[in-house]
Amino acid sequence: MAFVTTDDGAEIYFKDWGSPDAQPIMFHHGWPLSADDWDAQMLFFLAKGYRVIASDRRGHGRSSQIGTGHDMDHYASDVDAVVQHLDLRNAVHIGHSTGGGQVARYVAQYGEPQGRVAKAILVSSVPPLMVQTDANPDGTPISVFDDFRSALAANRAEFFQAVASGPFYGFNRDGVTPSEPVIANWWRQGMMGSALAHYEGIKAFSETDQTDDLKAISVPVLVTQGDDDQVVPYKDAALKQHELLSNSTLKIYEGYPHGMLTTHADVLNPDLLAFIQQ
C-alpha cells in the first residue's frame, strides 16, 4: 500500500490509478468514511482516460490513527503532502461532505497559490459553516452535533449503523428500499477508522468557518447537492457556496439524499464529467 508521511508524523494512505500523463482527478471523502467511498467514481473516470487519486483522511480508513491534527487545517495540509508527493498539476479536486470542506481549504490555501488546480467540485459539502451562530442563524444547532458526539462515544457501531441505514442515503424515506450491502459498506469504512478522529472530526466539519476559503477560490467550481439532504441542509450549504464563490455553477437535484454519489452514481458521474470537460 502507498503512504505519505506528513511533517507531524501522520501516515496518509492513498490510491493512484491510471496513466501519470493523464489529467489527475483527486477525490476527498466524507466523514467517517475512506477513499473506498469513491469506487463508483474512480472506476468511471479511469475508464474515461483520467488519472484518479483518493486518500484516506488522517485517522480514517487505512491512514494512521494519529492522536492529533483532526481539524480542517491539517486535513488540507495532508492533501498537499499527497499532491506534492505525486506532483499533481492541472488537477480537478472533488469533495463530498467533509471532503468538500477539505477541498475548499486545500484549493484556497495550497492548490491555487501553487498553480496546481484546474477546477473543483463540491458535492453535498459542509462549507461555509454548518453550526448555528449569531452570524449564521439558519445553521444547525450545536445540540445536534453534541448528540452526534454522545452517540459515537456511547456505541460507535450502533451509531454508524443508524446513520447509514437512515438519513445518509435517505433509506428512512417512504418508498425507498434500503440496500443492505451499501449500509454494510458504509459501516465497514467507518469502523476501520479511529474513534478519536471521528469524534474530533465532528467539530472540524461543523464548526469550521470556511467563508474566506470560498471567497478566495477563483477556478471554476461545480456546486451540487440534493434538496432532500438530511445531513447537510442544502440551503445553508450549496446555495451559500454558490453565492460566495466567484466562478461557480450550481446544480440542485430534486429528491436526492446526502449520499447521492452512491445512490445516483448513474446520474452524477456523467454530470461531473460534463463539467470537467467544459
Does 236 qualify as catalytic in the annotation? no
Does 97 qualify as catalytic in the annotation? yes
Q: What is the DSSP string of 2-64?
A: EEEE-TTS-EEEEEEES-TTSPEEEEEPPTT--GGGGHHHHHHHHHTT-EEEEEPPTTSTTS-
CA dihedral 160, 16, 110, 33 (to 10 degrees): 0
Q: Residue 80 burial (CB < 10 Å; 0-12/13-18/19+)?
A: middle
Which of 37, 56, 229, 236 is labelled catalytic?
229
Does 242 qualify as catalytic in the annotation? no
Which of 97, 124, 125, 194 is labelled catalytic?
97
**What whole-number distance in Å separates Cα of residue 168 and Cα of residue 152?**
16
Question: What is the set of active-site residues?
Answer: 97, 229, 258
